[in-house]
Each structure stands twice: as structure tokens, then as C-alpha cells.
Amino acid sequence: MNKEFVNYEIAFALKELGFDEPCYRFYYGDRLGLALNLEQGDTNTKLQKLHPNYVAVPLKQQVFRWFRDKHEWYANLSSWLHEEEIGTYHEFEIYGANQYAHGSVPFKTYEEAENACIDKLIEIAKQQDND
């Protein structure tokens, strides 16, 4: 089940970008824990009042939805079968609201492609904030 949640680095970067959606997990340092109120979930704002080292941990699907809602950026992950060898590779593309990016390096696992896509979304958002 932990594969469904983002890692600490991504959670922290999202917090810096203003991600404040309800989450059912949090990081304290690099330790993963359950949120305090499972009925409503916790947000970074709520957790920050408890301790500055708490970071809300969203599901990857929450991250993709947040970028769609906040920036109108859409992510497409694809899996392909290698023609020369047996196996698959995975890639991503990001499009919408004057943005286009493509994960041109084929990833060995779907999870690697998901994480790389989220990293790219964060990178684009940081660049936009600096402009």
C-alpha cells in the first residue's frame, strides 16, 4: 500500500508549493505515520500547528488531481512492449495550460514513471513561481 503514497521528498516539495489537501498519512522527518483524524484527514496547515516537522503525505492520484485542479496540467502515463526484447517500458507526458513535457527516457517500472512525472510537475510549478 505504501507505493500509493508519495515519498518524503515529493511530499515536502508539494508542501512548499502550497499543497494543503486532506491526507491520511504524514511524515515526521522520514518516518511515515497515520494521520491523527482518520475521519477527515489532516492537511499541512493542521499538521503544522502540531509540529513544524510534520508533512502531509498524499496519494499519487491526489497529486495528479491537485495539479489538474490548480494548474490545469494533465499527466498521461503509458506502457509499451519492447519490440526487440521481451518486457515493457513506461513513459509520461504532461500537457495543458501552455505546458508540454515528455518523459523521453523509458522507465523500467510504472512507479518510476509516476514518480518522475510528479517530479517534473513540481519542477514546472517551481519554474512558474519564479517567473
pTM of the predicted model as reported, rounded to 2 decimal places? 0.84
Residue range 11-46, pLDDT digits in tens: 999 999 999 998 888 888 777 776 665 556 678 788
- Whether the CB-CB separation of 74 and 94 falls below 8 Å is answered with yes
Identify the pLDDT of residue 63.
97
Q: Which residue type sits at 93?
A: E
3-state secondary structure of 59: strand
Q: At residue 119, does pLDDT exceed 60? A: yes
- Grid cell for residue 92: 509520461
Identify the pLDDT of residue 19.
94
DSSP 92-126: EEEEETTEEEE--SPBSSHHHHHHHHHHHHHHHHH
